[in-house]
Amino acid sequence: MSATAVRSPTEYESQLQRYLFERSEEGRAVRVGEKEVSEQAAIVARYADLFSREQLEALRSAEDEADADSGERERLYRLRKACEAGLLVAELAERDDALENAILAARVTFRGEELPLRSAQARLAILTDYREAISLRELEGALVDAAEKTGTSFVALRERWFDRLLGSERAEHPTSHHSSFLRRLTPLDSTYTKERSVEVCLETLERLGFRLADDPNIRLDLDDRPQKSPRACVIASDPPQVVHLITRAQGGLHDYQAFL
């Protein structure tokens, strides 16, 4: 089909679903480390005929002609907005790929070992001694310090946990740079272990009535890969038939919070 061909709304919706599924699966594969090169632009190019000015005008005309009180008009409105978004995506797809692939190709040296950037992020997140972490002083000038009055009991708890987490040599008022490390509550790592995180979380959800392992529509991705993003997420490639639940256990309370 040529780039200027115009589809009916029904045909358009069918092809749009395929396009969105392919893009979602491509994004998922890159995020979880199954692929080390993003090829979103190639997918956009294959479906270029979906996003033309002619197609947009055809959808707009169909929307204008539809009964204002019917669900059909809402459906056509959503298809038109998807077409508008696709026109923007087509302009930016190659640059988005270039940025994503630059991040994937980036390597940093940590303790003499060259690591992908995402592996370095994951490694940094599980350091047990904060003094081993990368210095953030160079970023300090770019951030604005904010102070907030707190109650006496909160201050007492804060000071106790800051001492346990950051050590006695810490600054009196740690900046926001430290927040990701603080949230891990490293002293509780022996309680919230990496090895049991998936088992405990699945059992917790089961007791709440959610048996994720038995739902064929929910695809669990719990593996650890070098290029897998350490941040948990959900990618709905074709809801409700295909929904990916993705996490990368690293040890600590955050694993359990992210999964649940």
- Which tops the pLDDT comparison, 257 or 11? 11
> CA 114, 118, 123, 129 torsion: positive or negative?
positive
Question: Quick one: pLDDT at residue 129?
Answer: 66
Q: Are residues 178 and 219 in the same domain?
A: no
Among candidate residues 116, 150, 183, the one where a domain is terminated: 183
Instruction: Kindly indicate the confidence band of residue 257, based on its pLDDT and cuts at 50, 70 and 90.
Output: confident
Residue 40's pLDDT band, with cuts at 50, 70 and 90, is: very high
pLDDT tens by residue, 156-205: 777 787 787 787 777 777 777 777 777 677 777 777 788 888 888 888 88
Q: What is the pLDDT of residues 116-163, one digit of tens each?
A: 888 888 887 777 765 555 555 544 545 544 344 446 666 777 778 778
Say which amino acid occupies 242: V
Q: Identify whether 46 is part of a domain.
A: yes
Convert the pLDDT of each residue in 54-103 to its tens digit.
999 999 999 999 887 778 888 898 999 999 999 999 999 999 999 999 99
**Residue 120 has what pLDDT?**
81
pLDDT at 1 over 50: no
Cβ(45)–Cβ(97) below 8 Å: no
Does 241 map to a domain?
Answer: yes
User: In angstroms, rounded to a whole number, what is the distance separating the alpha carbons of residues 256 and 80?
Assistant: 40
- Does the residue 189 lie in any domain? no
Q: What pLDDT does residue 121 have?
A: 80
Q: Is the predicted pLDDT of residue 2 greater than 50, yes or no?
A: no
**Count of domains for the chain:** 3
91 and 14 fall within a common domain: yes
Residue 122, pLDDT score: 81
Instruction: Say if residue 37's pLDDT is above 90.
Output: yes
Identify whether residues 23 and 50 lie together within a single domain. yes
pLDDT at 181: 72
Predicted local confidence at residue 135, as pLDDT: 53
Residues 81, 148 share a domain: no
Residue 118 in any domain: the answer is: no
The token pair that represents 140 in the structure block: 């300090």
- Between 197 and 12, the higher pLDDT residue: 12
What's the domain range around 145?
127-183
Q: Which residue has better confidence, 55 or 258?
A: 55
